[in-house]
Chain A
Amino acid sequence: MSTTSTTQTLSPSTSHEEPRSGTWDGGNEPFKASYGKLMMWFFLLSDAFTFAAFLTTYGLVRHRHLAYTGDHKDFVFSTAYWPIPDHVFNSFPGLHGMNLPLAFVALMTMILIFSSVTMVLAVEAGHRMDKADVQKWLLWTLLFGATFVSCQAWEWTHFIHGTDAGTKMLDGTTFFGANLHMNQYGPVLFADLFFFITGFHGTHVFSGLCLLAYCFIATTNGTFEKRGHYEMIEKVGLYWHFVDLVWVFVFTFFYLV
């Protein structure tokens, strides 16, 4: 910063005095991050607490229910105990009737993680001010993200429609699939939480897709080029990685443990 022109006008007999200028002494960005990026970080911190509350809810509710204690091979769906995810999520589109535990969700997760990789590449291209590359990688990210949401839609549909056999409920009727009041796979709260938490996450992914679409349009129109930087992409990137990271936790809670 230019300083020389200012100090001569101080009251007489003063020496040259500048305020301190360390990292935290003000007049700069101590985290070397613009206010917009900081805001995104703080928003994500806040959002992490929202998700943490939901996952805590999941843990507490699950703890209140009985676990299945018998042999894995003999497992049948019952409202009396929490289901084993391997048996709930074992189907794959186009492969009806095969037992493929967690195969589809593993694929979904891979796709989402790939979208994070392409996001990183878009941000990197933005640093190089390479418009074409930013467009390319944003499109890939959009594609992977949209695929993930579509997969989730399929997963939900399957979950709602249920298995071929259905489950005999307490009142003697056979029920197929699940909704917010009834659940063939186990206690009704298993379905409630599944819909609520994966739905909340899916809403986040969908919002991310809207942001990415906006970024793609703005990049194509040259908005960021005129602005001289692609920081917006970086901010959306932070959000996108966060949503991916949250999925890892949701995945762990619902499918693995």
Chain B
Amino acid sequence: MAANIPTNSQVQGGIGAAVPHTGHDEHHDEHDHHDQHWLFKYVFSQDHKVIAKQFLITGIFWAILGGTLSSLFRLQLGWPESTMEWLTPFLGKWIEAGKLNPEFYLALVTMHGTIMVFFVLTAGLSGTFSNFLIPLQVGARDMASGFMNMLSYWFFFLSSVIMFTSLFLETGPASAGWTIYPPLSALPQAIPGSGMGMTLWLVSMALFIVSQLLGGVNYITTVINLRTRGMSMSKLPLTIWAFFLTAILGLLSFPVLFSAALLLIFDRSFGTSFFLSDIYIAGQALPNVGGSPILFQHLFWFLGHPEVYIVIMPAMGMVSEILATNSRKPIFGYRAMIGSLMGISLLSFVVWAHHMFITGMNPFLGSVFMFLTLIIAVPSAVKTFNWLATLWRGNIRFTTAMMFSIGFVSLFISGGLTGIILGNAALDIQMHNTYFVVAHFHLVMGSSAFFGLFAGVYHWFPKMFGRMMDEKLGYIHFWLTFLGVYLVFLPMHYVGIAGFPRRYYAWTGFDTFSQFADLNKFISVAAILAFFAQFVFIINFFYSIFRGRRATENPWNSTTLEWTTPVVPGHGNWPGAIPAVYRWPYDYSKPGAEQDFIPQNVPYSQTQSSNLPYEREME
């Protein structure tokens, strides 16, 4: 960015962040009005804000689909004996004699996991907010490479189309679980879903990884090279730190999944034996010898574990930002927050085998991974206590975004505590592959990442669309979701402790579990209600885009740079020069200040009444 020379409008923009600007729209036309074809403005756009919205809306589409799939298998789990004839118009031949096809049940859980983890909580969450916020919050006109950023979305789109197509195959989509362990996933003769469905899954994921890579190098490079003047790494909002580290995790872990996927493609299509050895299927010995399915698990979880942090860290960053803004207090322990993010990022690469305690891995190795896993509790606790300390005696504004952020902290604690249990190899042997695990990760990285996503949407919606989302509908959405999530996942722990295995089509064959019939029904009712509550959000979202109350430039009285742009920033973000940055992003309720917030672009010389002794030197 060459145009970093400050001008008058920029400096005035600094002081006037809370004051409505007038001249900006005219400015905007002078600077950025290109006669762009609508196709390049809204579809093949290179503007990070448009790409962010594309990711968000594609993510919403996938979330509805992923939620629908979960409702379907919850119906099966809640009422295993009852007829599903009424779903025939929707599911066609997957309903056989009034029963859900058991193989399709496996496809449902597989696709629910794949969609939610990758397409919603990776692409939909980090794709949306990394794209939207990185240039706006570091003070850049756009991403380092707008073209590659556009490609990132379109690779994701292509990957989405392929994954979506796989749902309609005659043999069904991939059915080997979202972790696609071979040999089940490698042998088409094992289950129908390991035929064409699995092939499309692998192709789709390969394209998805390309999309992640294109996005990731852009995010990292933009944060390093395109920060505006004065925006040192220790003045970055925590959102940016979270996105930055998330991108690094993705950059280093997704290629390993790519390797695993490529090897699996060769095993499936070209007859190699990387993951296959000594297999009998239908009484026939397969010729494959010498490979190792455990090897696949190592490669998969080398991505798979960082992946859960790829999902949760952007949510952590946004929650930190929203909690500070709406508590009208500086974030507690800014540097500790960065340090803990770094700690989590580092540790996330050395704990993958805690997913493999019962695979027959050397128990000594298991205890090393157990030790490393439990250490993650330390940075996680640092973050949690810092969030609580930020709330402590804050002047709290209960905006919808704030509600979801507090909900995030709650879910992160509830789900995180069971992580300590599961991280213990000895306990995990009992709990492994039960609903206890399902409950744990749905709380700690599923629901809480969703809460981060919702918080982000409610908070940055005014900057995305220039309008506010409806607060009342937001509260309804929050309470229904918050209660729904706990009503689903708390009982699930009990079912899990009783040994109820995950991925089972029906438990009616086991007398042990019949006493949980009511609880299962209860979970299913809560899950389906919580799913339908999401339509409150969908309606609110799309209604507000067109009819919401008009937003001001800085509706939350926030300090970060995105709020110094016009109500709806055009291509290039700032009509004048990019503002320079003088202070950290959390100057809320500073003693002596005229307002309870001081934007990052206000120089110390303009805030003499509130400057601390060491800041006076910088005046």
Contact = CB atoms under 8 A, between A and B. Distances in A.
Q: Are A and B associated in one complex?
A: yes
Interface of A: 1-3, 6-7, 9-11, 14-15, 17-22, 24-27, 29-31, 33-36, 38-39, 42-43, 45-47, 49-50, 52-54, 56-57, 60-61, 64-65, 180-181, 187-189, 192-193, 196, 200
Given A9-B12, A49-B259, 11 more contacts: A6-B5, A9-B8, A11-B606, A14-B605, A19-B580, A34-B225, A38-B220, A42-B216, A42-B220, A45-B251, A53-B259
B7 A6 contact: yes
Given A45-B252, A53-B255, A10 B603 contact: yes
Given A9-B11, A60-B292, A61-B290, A17 B255 contact: no
Given A17-B582, A26-B139, A27-B230, A3 B6 contact: yes
Nearest to B218: A39
Interface in B195-215: 213
A20 B580 CA distance: 10
A252 to B, nearest CB: 19
A187 B5 contact: no
A19 B577 CA distance: 15
21 contacts: A3-B6, A10-B606, A11-B15, A14-B619, A15-B619, A17-B582, A29-B224, A30-B224, A35-B144, A35-B225, A36-B145, A38-B144, A42-B216, A42-B217, A42-B221, A46-B251, A46-B254, A61-B292, A187-B289, A189-B290, A193-B274
B256 interface: yes
B232 A24 contact: yes
A27 B213 contact: no
A46 B5 contact: no
Contacts of B218: 39
B592 interface: no
A254 to B, nearest CB: 16
Contacts of B220: 38, 42
Contact of A38 (B225, B227, B271, B299): B225
A34 to B, nearest CB: 8
A189 B274 contact: yes
Contact of A27 (B7, B229, B263): B229
A196 B255 contact: no
A187 B299 CA distance: 22
Interface in B230-253: 230-233, 235, 251-253
Interface in B10-42: 10-12, 15
Nearest to A9: B8
A35 B14 CA distance: 28
Contacts of A181: 271, 287
B604 A17 contact: yes
B292 A53 contact: no
A181 B291 CA distance: 12
Nearest to B267: A192
B260 interface: yes
Given A10-B11, A180-B272, A25 B145 contact: no
Contacts of A35: 144-145, 221-222, 225-226
B144 A39 contact: yes
A22 B235 CA distance: 13
Given A27-B229, A61-B295, A47 B255 contact: yes
Contacts, number: 172
Contacts of B213: 43, 46
B364 interface: no
A63 B582 CA distance: 57
A1 B5 contact: yes
A50 B11 contact: no
Secondary structure class of chain B's binding surface, majority of residues? helix
Interface in B306-338: none
Contacts of A33: 225
A1 B226 CA distance: 16
A7 B378 CA distance: 46
B230 A17 contact: no
A2 B5 CA distance: 7
Given A35-B144, A61-B295, A64-B290, A30 B230 contact: no
Contacts of A65: 290
Contact of B580 (A27, A188, A196): A27
A14 B226 CA distance: 28
B79 interface: no
A56 B7 CA distance: 55
A15 B603 CA distance: 10
B273 interface: yes
B369 interface: no
Contacts of B228: 26-27
B581 interface: yes
A64 B272 contact: no
B272 A196 contact: yes
Contact of B6 (A6, A34, A61, A180): A6
Contacts of B224: 29-31, 38
A24 B290 CA distance: 51
Tell which of A7, A11, A22, A49 has the most Cβ of chain B within 10 Å.
A49
A11 B11 CA distance: 10
B618 interface: yes
A90 to B, nearest CB: 24
A24 B8 CA distance: 25
Nearest to B252: A49
B101 interface: no
B258 interface: yes
Nearest to A200: B262
B458 interface: no
Nearest to B232: A25
